[in-house]
Amino acid sequence: MQAEIQTHYQVISKLIFIFSGIFLAISSFGQDVRIAVFQADVTPPIGSPVAYAPTRSIADSLSARGIIIFSGEKPVIICAVDWIGISNEGQDVWKAALAKAGSTTPDRVSVHALHQHDGVKCDFTVEKILKEYGLDRNLFDHAFQNRAIENVAAAVKKAAANPKPVTHMGFGEAMVEKVGSNRRILGKDGKVATVRWSSARDSVSINAPEGLIDPWLKSVSFWNKNEPLAVLNYYATHPQSHYGKGDVTCEFVGIARNERQKKSNIPHVYFTGAAGNVAAGKYNNGADTTRYILAKRMELGMEKAWKDTKKRPIQGTDILWRNEQVALPIGKDLTEERLRKMLSDPKISVPEKNGVAESLAWVIRTREGFTANVSALKLGDVWLLNLPGETFVEYQLAAQQMRKNDKVCTAAYEEYGAGYIGTRIAYAQGGYETTGLSSGVSPEAEAILLAAIKHVLR
């Protein structure tokens, strides 16, 4: 009998050992980190409208590219698109399509425009409003935009079927020299005296100090042991050198990204940071050749950040996704009645009415309960922060102060419908970004947005 009991005990012990091993293997597999990288062409055809004119030439092709992170929960998809802006129902369609393709949910998808000014504007809400007033043909190519979204979704689906294991992640940073400068030059009274546009030839704009910027380009990389799988670069500046005639380009930021990818043979994704009040105006005279000078400076910054990269192991428990829906208060001068009167006014030009329709779309969506998304992906001590609108650089710098011992990389231009999101004091200072129809929000947006940033970075 004792021998029989001993035999049973041994069998049970072996079974417990086997099932424990299986459980640990399953748990370990569930916590593995994997990544998939996708890229698709989103270049408009000749004649298709871009932001300020019909496409007349393709200087550089446009792309949508990004990553899918698998870590034991539903995948997270972060995408950067070489378009000027994606907003309102445009964002809804993009997120739904990518979520379906990547077997996740739209709240775990973040789609950013890089904001190149000879790029496509995607907003199906604005399109409906313009159609109501007979103005829809001058700004949107509905069929092309839907094809582009389908192509990107197909790329996501294909990539998601073959993710690669991630054992380490890397972080590096480097200062970018002579690219970014603050657009708002204040006078002695504390008000905006001069707006320093994306290009400048006047002595005031050129000789004024850079002003408040974030000079650091941040580089986040994913590795399978010693094999680099993808590089994400972040820098805060408006990305245009010259624009407005329909010569489509991924601009100096995209040219730099493409060159780094070509030379390194590693997939590169670039995100525009909180650059609402930052552009290259101090260092850009608008000449054709200057675009490539700026591109070289950006490429050098990316290369230095790559060389500065330090790797560390990563596992699924190091990864966390947080998001917060925020109701941003509408600008006080934005009323549906006023905006509809402007759309019906024959004295107002078609380009001006396009801007009016954008403000109206934001007002209607907000009134109906729309909330903008603020999210962050935690990767150990690195945070990828995603913000709506043309957010001022102060928000990016504030986020870094919230996690002083960590690294925070900010991508703005997610929900483009809000327009410029200035700081509270900026609305009292005047200037292009915080007057007229440029900003869809009121000064009270600062406290709400900062609270949301703090929440997702907690």
227-267 pLDDT tens trace: 999 999 999 999 999 999 999 999 999 999 999 999 999 99
Please count the other Cβ atoms lying within 10 Å of the Cβ belonging to residue 89: 18
Q: Identify whether 60 is part of a domain.
A: yes
Q: Mean pLDDT lowest for which of 23-27, 95-99, 255-259?
A: 23-27
In this structure, what DSSP letter does residue 55 have? -
Residue at token pair 């005639």: 245
Q: Where are the beta strands (DSSP E) in 330-395?
A: 372-379, 382-386, 390-391
Residue-wise DSSP of 443-455: TTHHHHHHHHHHH
pLDDT tens digit string along 117-160?
999 999 999 999 999 999 877 789 999 999 999 999 999 999 99
- The length of the chain in residues reads 458
pLDDT tens digit string along 324-375?
999 999 998 899 999 999 999 999 999 999 999 999 999 999 999 999 999 9
- 233 neighbors 302 (Cβ within 8 angstroms): yes
C-alpha 243/C-alpha 246 separation (Å) is: 7
- 216 neighbors 233 (Cβ within 8 angstroms): no
What pLDDT score was predicted for residue 14? 44
Evaluate if residue 23 carries a pLDDT over 90: no
Average pLDDT of every residue of the chain: 93
The neighbouring-strand residues paired with 322 are 376
Give the residue from 362, 355, 357, 373 showing the smallest Cα distance to 412: 373
Average pLDDT over residues 419-432: 98
Average pLDDT over residues 219-225: 98
What percent of the chain has pLDDT above 90? Answer: 91
Q: Identify whether 5 is part of a domain.
A: no
What percent of the chain has pLDDT above 70? Answer: 93
Q: Identify whether 149 is part of a domain.
A: yes
Into how many domains does the chain fold?
1
Q: Identify whether 430 is part of a domain.
A: no
Evaluate if residue 112 carries a pLDDT over 80: yes
What pLDDT score was predicted for residue 31? 64
Task: Give Cα separations from 203 to 122, 194, 243, 430 (angstroms).
Answer: 36, 11, 22, 21
- 115 neighbors 413 (Cβ within 8 angstroms): yes
Residue-wise DSSP of 160-180: HTS-EEE-EEEEEEEEPPS--
Q: Identify whether 405 is part of a domain.
A: no
What pLDDT score was predicted for residue 357? 97
Average pLDDT over residues 101-108: 98
Please count the other Cβ atoms lying within 10 Å of the Cβ belonging to residue 162: 8
197, exposed or middle or buried, with CB in 10 Å at 0-12, 13-18, 19+? middle
User: How would residue 197 be classed by pLDDT, with cut points 50, 70 and 90?
Assistant: very high
Task: Give Cα separations from 227 to 235, 263, 264, 378 (angstroms).
Answer: 25, 16, 12, 22
What pLDDT score was predicted for residue 139? 84
Average pLDDT over residues 286-298: 97
| pTM of the complete model | 0.93
What pLDDT score was predicted for residue 8? 44
Task: Give Cα separations from 96 to 43, 44, 101, 351, 385 (angstroms).
Answer: 21, 22, 9, 30, 20
Evaluate if residue 15 carries a pLDDT over 90: no
Q: Which domain holds residue 111?
A: 35-161
Three-state DSSP state, 398: helix
Q: Identify whether 265 is part of a domain.
A: no
The neighbouring-strand residues paired with 34 are 70, 165
What pLDDT score was predicted for residue 30? 42
Give the residue from 72, 44, 37, 38 showing the smallest Cα distance to 59: 44
**444, amino acid identity:** E
User: How would residue 9 be classed by pLDDT, with cut points 50, 70 and 90?
Assistant: very low
Q: Identify whether 457 is part of a domain.
A: no
Q: Identify whether 374 is part of a domain.
A: no
